[in-house]
Amino acid sequence: MNGQENTVADLSEVAYVVRISVGGLNPNYPNTETEATQAMEFLNRCLTEMPKGRIIGKEMGVGVFQFGEHQITTQKITYHVGFKRQPHWLIEEAKNRKPWLKVGSK
């Protein structure tokens, strides 16, 4: 092996989960660079600010669309970030209703 071990994460302490989507699959409404940057910055905030979250899951989707002679490929990655408790700063983020953010209890 290359020094990495496959370990199973203990999810018993996860009480709050946030889903953060980066990208999109709908070619009619593509995500802007600003939306992708905001989502990635928020993901980094979830992983670095207290209480620190951790990635407990990841969904990946790819769409390939043909429009005449043109082919468009889209990609969406949704990160599931688990917390021991709901971060206080997340309440304000949820009030702003970001399209790439979904929050909820476990």
Beta strand ranges found along the chain (DSSP E): 16-23, 54-67, 70-83, 101-105
Average pLDDT over residues 82-101: 77
- Distance, in Å, from the CA atom of 38 to the CA atom of 100, rounded to the nearest integer, reads 9
In a domain, 37, yes or no: yes
In a domain, 41, yes or no: yes
Structural domain of 51: 16-105
pLDDT > 60? residue 1: no
In a domain, 75, yes or no: yes
Number of domains, the chain: 1
pLDDT > 90? residue 60: yes
In a domain, 85, yes or no: yes
In a domain, 83, yes or no: yes
Average pLDDT over residues 55-80: 89
pLDDT > 70? residue 106: no
- Distance, in Å, from the CA atom of 50 to the CA atom of 1, rounded to the nearest integer, reads 34
In a domain, 6, yes or no: no
- Distance, in Å, from the CA atom of 71 to the CA atom of 27, rounded to the nearest integer, reads 11
In a domain, 3, yes or no: no
pLDDT above 90: percentage of residues in the chain: 26
In a domain, 4, yes or no: no
pLDDT tens digit string along 16-56?
898 998 888 777 787 788 888 888 999 999 999 999 999 99
